[in-house]
Amino acid sequence: MAEKAPPSLTAVAVSSLLLGLLAGYFLGQGSSIGVFGGSGTSKQAKKSWPNSYDVKVHADSSDDQADDEDEADEEDEDGDGKELKDFKDSNEDVKLVLAVRTDLGMGKGEEELTRQRNLLANPSLAGKIAAQCSHATLACYKYLLNHVTSAPMLKRWERGGQPKIAVQVKSEEEMETLQAQAISLGLCARIIHDAGRTQIAAGSATVLGILGPKSVVDQVTGHLKLL
């Protein structure tokens, strides 16, 4: 019998390629169904389904102050409310104006500002400002709520969506002048003093809240720039 010719190099190469592809296919299928066991990473991913992705939680800047909550003291908390007018004959909208001092550094301690630097130039101070405005809003609400004569006006403010406008004042002296004007018109005017547990010196007047009929409030704050 004649001897068979040895396979050509091309045939060997093609056969090897086919065998490799088949082996790879079966290995892949076996791995997917767990025949060969999953790696630690795969097991961890299956265990955490459907959140199998890695999530890293980074500390927020607010976390650094979690144990240093912003606090404030309201001025004249025990006022008798005799200065308030009921404005019962007025049907116009009621609004709250929050006059914020712009000469204080209300932000993170490492970003302490000089009195000459406008805090509006630093967006990171918004958190401190928001906290002080919240104190002033609550102070005005509580003060009016505790005096029956102002109840109808307070209800109008609530029904109207509790409009609030933030404006700028440049000093404590200007703030006190505005408060005196507001009180003389029978408006609710409450100044908030910082408790000094964060970045501002204790006792610093930060925000003045004035709540009342729009036209009356505008007599006091209408000339001030928006915050």
The CATH code of the domain that includes 105 is: 3.40.1490.10
Question: Would you state the pLDDT for residue 110?
Answer: 40
Helix, strand or coil for residue 57?
coil
Averaged pLDDT, 173-188: 97
pLDDT band at 202 (very low <50, low <70, confident <90, very high): confident
pLDDT at 113 over 80: no
pLDDT band at 101 (very low <50, low <70, confident <90, very high): very high
How many independent structural domains does the chain possess?
1
Q: Interhelix angle for 151-159 vs 126-145, to 10°?
A: 140
Flag whether 47 is in a domain. no
Quote the CA–CA distance of 220 and 185 in Å, as a whole number: 9
Q: Is the peptide bond before 152 cis (omega within 30 degrees of 0)?
A: no
Domain encompassing residue 138: 71-221
pLDDT at 209 over 70: yes
Flag whether 175 is in a domain. yes
Flag whether 51 is in a domain. no
Quote the CA–CA distance of 180 and 162 in Å, as a whole number: 23
In terms of C-beta density within 10 A (0-12 exposed, 13-18 middle, 19 or more buried), how is residue 172 classed? middle
Quote the CA–CA distance of 199 and 127 in Å, as a whole number: 12
Dump pLDDT digits (tens) for 38-96.
Answer: 544 444 444 443 443 343 433 333 334 433 445 555 554 557 888 999 898 888 999 99
Helix, strand or coil for residue 8?
coil
Flag whether 98 is in a domain. yes
Flag whether 13 is in a domain. no
pLDDT band at 151 (very low <50, low <70, confident <90, very high): confident
Q: What angle do CA 144, 148, 152 make, to 5 degrees?
A: 75
Beta-strand pair 205-213/72-74: unpaired
Question: Would you state the pLDDT for residue 68?
Answer: 42
Flag whether 97 is in a domain. yes
Q: Are 105 and 114 in contact (CB under 8 A)?
A: yes
Flag whether 7 is in a domain. no
Residue 125, φ and ψ in degrees, nearest 5: -85, -5
Average pLDDT in the chain: 74
Flag whether 106 is in a domain. yes
